[in-house]
Amino acid sequence: MENQSTQISKQLQIKFSQYISNVTSRISLPKKKFIKDILRGMYISKSIYLNGIARSLHESISPKKTSERLSYNIGKPELYSEIETNYLLSLRHRIKDYEFIIYDGSDIQKKHAKEMEGLKLVRDGSRSSNKVKKGKKNEFGNGYHWDNYMAINNGKILPLVSDIYSTDLDKDFEKSENYKILSTMERIRKHTETESILVIDRGGDRRVLVENFIDMNQYFIIRQKRNRHLFHNDEILPITTVSRKVKLCKEFKIERKVKNKKTTNIFDVGATQVFMPDSYLKKKINTPLWLIVSKGRDKGYSWFLAYIDTVDKYEAMDIVMRGYAQRWKIEEFHRQVKQDYKLENIILKRYSAIHNMGIIIAILMGFLCTLPQNIVEDMIIIAKLLHTKKLKDLPNYIYYRLTEAIKYFMFSWKKYVRIVNKYDPQLYFKFSFDNE
């Protein structure tokens, strides 16, 4: 087991070095070193505290000096754009295997913080969702918005953009929230050249977004609100009226694991072509869209507006149901990062540092999501994180286990040891491990 552990450690260290090299290929050496150090420190400490990260690195200088260096670098205003651009460029070939991009917004609550820059009232998603079920009002508190864009295919995820921002200080949001969503998608498309289908929940049901996505030729699936009006057979009608004209002709089964228990939901689904009206509800936008109508056996209706490359209604139903069925993965991502890396305990004072932490989280999780399956399985086995009764509190979502496993392996790493061979003018590097 010791030899196998050493072998996996070497493979992991090589993969980590290759990953850092790819995502920082156009970044200066000091920033590259900072990114490498803060990622490794976050994996080991499982937190976003700079002091904890500094202690976990065990540098030859004092943890205080290390913390000051990390603090200086993470506060650089230009860092976000540099990391995001390089990270997205590094995904250009990988993202072709992903059919969908999920967009969803969350929040970071800092109710008792006073000196953090850019604090603004935001809705507490976890508390509000519970209160809405009980018929109570939403709950708000000081904090930040946290938007995530994630590529996904058959349950496999790949973080693209993680944006922690203040509505008071974000330059894109100053223009509008719609502009911020559109500009982010433009950057993703520009750097990755992706043709993935964007999936958005009901919050994205906005005419401005639909019009601009069509102009960009960005395929999308947007869950609709019940007050939406659409052109159907050259007549402007409420979406509830249109849906009654649609024959539910296909059955879909969607399986999920909730608290380690499999649940199966059955939906009857139908489809029809519609057109989006203009802002005055007088004319239609001459691009045919699919309206997918879904009726749960034990639930009500759901409606999805889709701009996708198919003229076959059965194929359209299949694409939309598969795409939206995977949206819950991004909610697991939000929950996992908040739990594993204690994101809501963030205490950085400067807004630029808080904003930069968002994209660092994207590349932090990006490494875990791009590890080969055989290495992931071996890591979890060796770290003794298989699903057992003793570990039943560890969710079945694989990345909870993987963050524990990578902490186990990275904790044993030493720094690269540079060795000079006096008989050879070239330098070479030797991997060194505590258990060798």
Tens-digit pLDDT profile for residues 45-72 = 999 999 999 999 989 999 999 999 999 9
The pLDDT of residue 90 is above 70: yes
Q: Which domains does the chain have, with CATH numbers?
A: 2-74+371-420 (no CATH), 94-333 (3.90.350.10)
Mean pLDDT of the chain, nearest integer: 87
- Predicted TM-score (pTM) of the model is 0.88
Question: DSSP E strands: which ranges in 235-330?
Answer: 235-238, 250-258, 261-274, 289-296, 301-307
% of the chain at pLDDT higher than 70 = 87
The pLDDT of residue 218 is above 80: yes
By CB atoms closer than 10 A (0-12, 13-18, 19+), residue 427 is: exposed
Q: What is the pLDDT of residue 397?
A: 65
The pLDDT of residue 174 is above 90: yes
Q: What is the mean pLDDT of residues 308-313?
A: 96
Maximum mean pLDDT: which of 37-41, 126-130, 399-403: 37-41
Q: What is the pLDDT of residue 392?
A: 47
By CB atoms closer than 10 A (0-12, 13-18, 19+), residue 263 is: exposed
127: closest CA among 114, 118, 112, 140? 140
Q: What is the pLDDT of residue 404?
A: 87
What is the band of 425 on the pLDDT scale with cuts at 50, 70, 90? very low
Give the distance, in angstroms, between the CA of residue 124 and the centroid of all CA atoms in the same chain. 19
Q: What is the pLDDT of residue 432?
A: 37
